[in-house]
DNA sequence: TTTTGTTGATTGATCAGTCAATCAAAAATA
DNA sequence: TATTTTTGATTGACTGATCAATCAACAAAA
């Protein structure tokens, strides 16, 4: 069996195994032995190729992000109008692969890990920015910038929230319902916002401090997905 | 120093210490020694009172939930109209205590833990249901049931999403901005939904499968907060 | 003297990471 | 072509550290 050129094969097998084991176990507290066993190799080999458990985990989250990114690129290519692109972005994030229990569990585990690992956090920040930025780009074609920023933030939050709620399997919101909820949000805010450009009038009971635009961060480095940027 | 009646004091000190250490460390992978040290006692004492690490952790999440619940009860008591109650619910969830970095980190850690621990999951499901149910009760006073259900689900998701995004400290959305975003969502959907009771018309590019109402779970046990129910 | 609170010391298990050794393919040499 | 050498792939066995959990013992109140 020992042939030359095994390295890329093993690396991929180990990363895939890690994702699987993490998703299955629902936590990053899995052993190198578990991962190696799942990949059908010895624990020592995993260390040989990745140096440490942390490195293997980092590679695993990179692969998760890479997958999401390439799905997004593909989906955006197919859509023509800004509105259609918004729908495409939403749909990709709830695509079956992303919504698989294992994948959700893995994302969640990485979110938790981000509290400790600076590097993990960096990757998730890239994801969060990218999602917001992609939404923003198309919203700007439909709305004034400040409204677009607000709605991009809201839609991104709703997507993440539906995702995390799904992880509990408490509110069995399915893929289609999640998509529909997010679409409804967009539709409603596009409607009310374009009809009264000042933002939604807050005849609210609570002091809503008006449109939230001015509270949002500005001039943040744009991480828009028009191809070619880090993996 | 050894006096009688220490038990409740020590229990509270240990639970508080656990929350603190978990939030600080950003993970449940903290040692009993860490917790005990933070509480100023020996690790053996923590075992003495809680039997196991798992029990201590369960008590910790219970305390988190109890706190949120009592805040909610208080906030609801003050609000009069349904619309004001909705704002109160939103505000409580983004109350300063909840939004403290430590607390956010702790919640996130428990979400991850819920993938493995059935008991932890149960508690978080209670939280998720309660949030949705509280929103729903007041929305029903303003909208048809199916629309109310949809919007309750959406608002709950947005709250959770803003929360998790906050955990990354990437999109520095503050408390006020988070509240404003959620209020905007409610305002927009209340506006569009009451004007066209069929739900938001989906002249969407993507097949939004119409209003999501029928996809949402029905007849789920209501966990409404009108006082007296489990802790 | 019984009860309650408290701890130091210890145990047993689990793991990440290391290392020396093995094996087989490929490359170099005769 | 036959051989030796080098190199990459792979593992079993081991180490050192960490930790949850236990227990026997002691101290102060009742």
What CATH number does the domain containing A150 carry?
1.10.357.10
CA B123 to chain centre: 10
Residue A45 sits in the same domain as residue A95: no
| Average pLDDT for chain B | 85
Q: Which pLDDT score is estimated for A219?
A: 40
Domain membership of residue A224 (yes or no) is no
Pairwise CA distance, residues B111 & B227, whole Å:
25
Are A184 and A97 within one domain?
yes
Question: Which residue on chain A is closest to B22 by alpha carbon?
Answer: A115
Query: Would you state the structure tokens that stand for residue B105, as one six-digit string?
Result: 């980190």
| CB spacing of B170 vs A129 below 8 angstroms | yes
| Residues above pLDDT 70, as percent of chain A | 81
Q: Where residue A42 sits, what CATH number does that domain have?
A: 1.10.10.60
In a domain, B188, yes or no: yes
Task: Give domain status of residue A47, yes or no.
Answer: yes
Residues A41, A68 within the same domain: no
Give me the residue from B29, B111, B154 closest to A158, CB to CB.
B154
CB A86 within 8 A of CB A156: no
Report CA(B34)–C1'(C10) in Å, whole number: 19
In this predicted model, which residue has the larger pLDDT, B155 or A5? B155
Which of B129, B205, B208 is nearest residue A180 as measured by Cβ atoms?
B208
Please say if the pLDDT value at position A228 is more than 70: no
Give contacts of A86 with chain B, Cβ < 8 Å.
205
In a shared domain, residues A202 and A141: yes
pLDDT at A119 over 90: yes
SS3 B1: coil
Mean pLDDT of the region A153-162 = 96
From residue A209, alpha-carbon distances to A77, A154, A201, B98, B177 in Å are 39, 16, 11, 20, 8
Is residue A93 domain-shared with residue A187, that is, in the same domain?
Answer: yes
Whether residue A190 is found in the same domain as residue A91:
yes
Query: A10, A38 in Cβ contact below 8 A?
Result: no
A44 and A84 in a single domain? The answer is: no
User: Is the distance from CB of A185 to CB of A154 less than 8 angstroms?
Assistant: yes
Number of domains present in the structure of chain B: 1
Is A73 within the bounds of a domain? yes
**Is residue B37 over pLDDT 70?**
yes
CB A105 within 8 A of CB A26: yes
Residue linked to tokens 């709830």: A94
A90 and A200 within one domain: yes
Instruction: Please check whether residue A56 lies inside any domain of the structure.
Output: no
Whole-angstrom Cα distance, residue A48 to residue A105?
A: 27
Q: Do B129 and A170 touch (CB under 8 A)?
A: yes
Residue B27 located in a structural domain: no
pLDDT, residue A223, reads 57
State the residue range of the domain holding A95: 61-215
Q: What share of chain B in percent tops pLDDT 70?
A: 81
Residue-by-residue DSSP string for A88-154: HHHHHHT-HHHHSHHHHHHHHHHHHHTTT-HHHHHHHHHHHHHHHHHHHHHHTTTS-HHHHHHHHHH
Query: Which residue is closest to D11 in terms of CA–C1' distance?
Result: A42
Which residues from 28-87 of A have any strand D atom under 7 Å from their CB? 41-45, 48
A35 lies in the same domain as A69: no
Q: Among A52, A25, A181, which Cα is nearest to A112's?
A: A25
Q: What is the rounded average pLDDT of the residues B176-197? A: 89
Weakest mean pLDDT among A36-40, B21-25, B126-130, B197-201: B197-201
How far from chain centre, in Å, is Cα B156?
Answer: 9
- Given a cut of 50, whether residue B175 has pLDDT beyond it is yes
In 3D space, the residue among A62, A37, A63, A59 whose CA is nearest the CA of residue A49 turns out to be A59
Query: B211 or A96: which carries more pLDDT confidence?
Result: A96
Residues within 8 A of B (CB atoms), A 128-157 only: 128-129, 132, 150, 153-154, 156-157
More confident residue, A187 or A207: A187
B200/A208 touch (CB, cutoff 8 Å), yes or no: no
Q: How far apart are CA B96 and CA B201, in angstroms?
A: 37
Could you tell me if residue B92 is inside a domain?
A: yes
Residues of A in contact with B25 (CB under 8 A): 115-116
List CB contacts of B186: < 8 A, sequence separation 6 or more.
Answer: B86, B90, B151, B155
Q: Which residue of A has its CA nearest to B151?
A: A181
Residue B20 to residue A231: CA distance in whole angstroms? 36
pLDDT at residue B89 tops 50: yes
A59 has a pLDDT exceeding 90: yes
Is residue B202's pLDDT more than 50? Answer: no
Phi, psi of B45 (to 5 degrees): -70, -35
Residue in chain B lying closest to A89 (CA)? B206
The residue that leads in pLDDT, A100 or A202, is A100
Determine which helix (DSSP H) or strand (DSSP E) holds A56, and give its type and residue range: helix A53-78
Within a 10 A sphere around the Cβ of B227, how many other Cβ atoms?
10
Instruction: Answer yes or no: is pLDDT of B135 > 50.
Output: yes
A1 CB less than 7 Å from any atom of strand D: yes
């Amino acid at each position: 069996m020992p042939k030359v050129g095994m390295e890329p094969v093993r690396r991929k097998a180990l990363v895939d195994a890690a994702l699987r084991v993490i998703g299955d176990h629902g936590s990053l507290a899995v052993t190198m032995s578990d991962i190696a066993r799942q990949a059908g190799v010895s624990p020592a080999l995993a260390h040989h190729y990745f140096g440490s458990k942390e490195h293997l985990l980092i590679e695993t989250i990179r692969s998760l992000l890479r997958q999401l990114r390439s799905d997004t690129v593909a989906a955006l290519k197919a859509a023509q109008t800004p509105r259609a692109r918004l729908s495409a972005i939403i749909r990709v994030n709830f695509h079956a692969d992303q919504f698989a229990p294992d994948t959700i569990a893995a994302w969640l585990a990485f979110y938790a890990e981000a509290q400790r690992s600076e590097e993990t956090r960096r990757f998730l920040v890239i994801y969060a920015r990218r999602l917001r930025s992609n939404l923003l780009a198309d919203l700007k074609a439909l709305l004034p910038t400040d409204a677009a920023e607000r709605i991009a933030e809201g839609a991104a939050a709703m997507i993440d929230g539906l995702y995390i709620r799904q992880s509990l399997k408490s509110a069995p919101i399915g893929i289609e319902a999640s998509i529909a909820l997010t679409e409804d949000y967009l539709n409603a805010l596009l409607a009310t916002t374009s009809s009264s450009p000042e933002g939604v009038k807050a005849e609210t009971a609570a002091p809503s401090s008006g449109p939230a635009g001015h509270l949002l961060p500005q001039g943040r480095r744009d991480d828009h997905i028009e191809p070619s940027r880090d993996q």
